[in-house]
C-alpha cells in the first residue's frame, strides 16, 4: 500500500488493503487490525471526511470498538485534525497540550468522569 501511495495510486492502494483483509486468516486479529488502520490512515490522508468515517465505522464493526477508536483518534491527532467525536453527539477538541493520550481523554467521555 505504501509503495502505491508513493506513486499516487490511491485507488490501487485501497484495493490492496481490501484484498489483504480477505486473505488474512480470521485468527490473525492483530494483523487484520493493522490493515484496517492502514486503510483508515489512507483515508485520513487521501480521502474525504465521508470515506474516512465509513472506513472507520467498518473497522469498528470487525474489531474492538475502543481499540479502533483510540487508534483512529491518535491518527487524527498525528494528521493535525482539531476535533473528533468520542461518542455520538459529543466532540472533544484534540490538542497537544491536553493531559493524557486521546484514549485517556475519551475514556473520560466513555465513563462520564
CA gap 6, 3 in Å, rounded: 5
Lowest mean pLDDT among 12-16, 44-48, 79-83: 79-83
CA gap 31, 21 in Å, rounded: 9
pTM, to two decimals: 0.73
Collect all residues with Cβ–Cβ distance below 8 Å to 51 and sequence separation of at least 6. 43
Q: Above 70 in pLDDT, residue 21? A: yes
Average pLDDT over residues 48-56: 90
Position 26 scores a pLDDT of 85
Query: Within its chain, how far is the Cα of 103 from the centroid?
Result: 13
Position 2 scores a pLDDT of 86
Q: Above 70 in pLDDT, residue 24? A: yes
Torsion of CA 65, 67, 68, 71, to 10 degrees: 150
Residue 108's CB is within 10 A of a number of other CB atoms, namely 13
Lowest mean pLDDT among 12-16, 56-60, 67-71, 101-105: 101-105
Domain ranges of the chain: 2-82
pLDDT digits (tens, 9 = 90+) for 64-83: 988 998 888 888 888 877 55
Any alpha helices (H) in the chain, and if so which ranges?
A: 2-6, 10-23, 29-46, 49-62, 65-78, 102-111
More confident residue, 39 or 108: 39
Collect all residues with Cβ–Cβ distance below 8 Å to 42 and sequence separation of at least 6. 1, 5, 10, 13, 14, 17
Instruction: Evaluate whether 61 touches 38 at the Cβ level (below 8 Å).
Output: no
Q: Above 90 in pLDDT, residue 42? A: yes
Amino acid at each position: 500500500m505504501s509503495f502505491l501511495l508513493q506513486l499516487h495510486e490511491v485507488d490501487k492502494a485501497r484495493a490492496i488493503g481490501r484484498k489483504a483483509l480477505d486473505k488474512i486468516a480470521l485468527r490473525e486479529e492483530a494483523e487484520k487490525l493493522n490493515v484496517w488502520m492502514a486503510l483508515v490512515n489512507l483515508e485520513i490522508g487521501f480521502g474525504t471526511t465521508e470515506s474516512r468515517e465509513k472506513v472507520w465505522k467498518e473497522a469498528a464493526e470487525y474489531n474492538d470498538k475502543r481499540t479502533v477508536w483510540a487508534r483512529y483518534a491518535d491518527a487524527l491527532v498525528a494528521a493535525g485534525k482539531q476535533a473528533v467525536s468520542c461518542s455520538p453527539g459529543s466532540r472533544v477538541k484534540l490538542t497537544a497540550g491536553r493531559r493524557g493520550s486521546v484514549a485517556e481523554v475519551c475514556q473520560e467521555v466513555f465513563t462520564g468522569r
